[in-house]
Amino acid sequence: VGYFSAFGFFNCICQVLAEHMNKSRLLLPDLGFQLLPFIPFSYLPTLTLTIFVAAVVSRTFLREEEAPTMARRFLLSYATVLFLRGLCITMTILPNPDSTCHAELDGIPIPLAALQVMAGLKMTCGDVFFSGHTAIQMSLLNVLLRDSRTLAPWERTAAATFAAASIVTIPMTKFHYSIDVFCGGIIGWSVPELYRYVITRLADRPLADGDGNGVRVATMCARFWRRLESSPKRLLEL
């Protein structure tokens, strides 16, 4: 939780910085905007995201035998996603395509504004690339499909279908550009996969005399995270 909170706060700091650095509302050309029908309900992606998160938490994280491990795995993975998102937000700031977005952060110190954004009391409009709505759903879907032992086939299909439909609403409402959704999906899915690979492969690797310091540190870190998960071996050997 501390790891997640720290990088969540870092992401919010970057959101506030991006808001101060660029206030342009120029709409960039976007293939998704041209191909998909426009839905004039900018709150729809957040609504579908909330439904998806609530469904996953109630069905999986509160009922699975390995729920604590799955929750920690998601929090650790998504915290890393938030760190990457914070970096991307401030590297190149795209103008927000959502004309209904209005941030009110003027005059608020950056750390305080970041805390308010983190608590949901304030919003930012400069955090465009990449889509956090997409990344969190893909990370949740990854942990759900890869680690759950009790989901029925129809539940897996329903989860993937709903997540896909929810993500499609993002460019349809001009909540994000298509590139934000595309990259957010790849990063959101890949980080849990990479994390799983590291703790299952590197943690089991015996240290050899010829290993450099970098390999030794990486192996010890993988073993630390594996112990932190405190999960059954069958889950770690996915």
Q: Name the residue among 11, 124, 13 with its Cα closest to residue 78.
A: 11
* 98 inside domain: yes
Task: Look over the chain and give the mean of its residue pLDDT values, rounded to a whole number.
Answer: 86
* 196 inside domain: no
For the cut 70, the answer to whether the pLDDT of residue 140 exceeds it is: yes
* 168 inside domain: yes
Per-residue pLDDT at 237: 46
* 208 inside domain: no
* 184 inside domain: yes
* 121 inside domain: yes
Q: What is the mean pLDDT of residues 189-196?
A: 91
Residue 78: both structure tokens together: 């998504």
Rounded to whole angstroms, the Cα distance separating 46 from 186 reads 19
| pTM of the predicted protein model | 0.84
Q: In this structure, are residues 110 and 16 in contact, taking their beta carbons and an 8 Å threshold? A: yes
* 200 inside domain: no
For the cut 60, the answer to whether the pLDDT of residue 230 exceeds it is: no
Domain tally for the chain? 1
Q: Quickly state the pLDDT bin for 209 (edges 50, 70, 90).
A: low
Per-residue pLDDT at 46: 94
Per-residue pLDDT at 59: 83
pLDDT of 28-44, one tens digit each?
999 999 999 999 998 99
* 197 inside domain: no
Q: What is the span of the domain harbouring residue 54?
A: 2-189
Rounded to whole angstroms, the Cα distance separating 222 from 10 reads 23
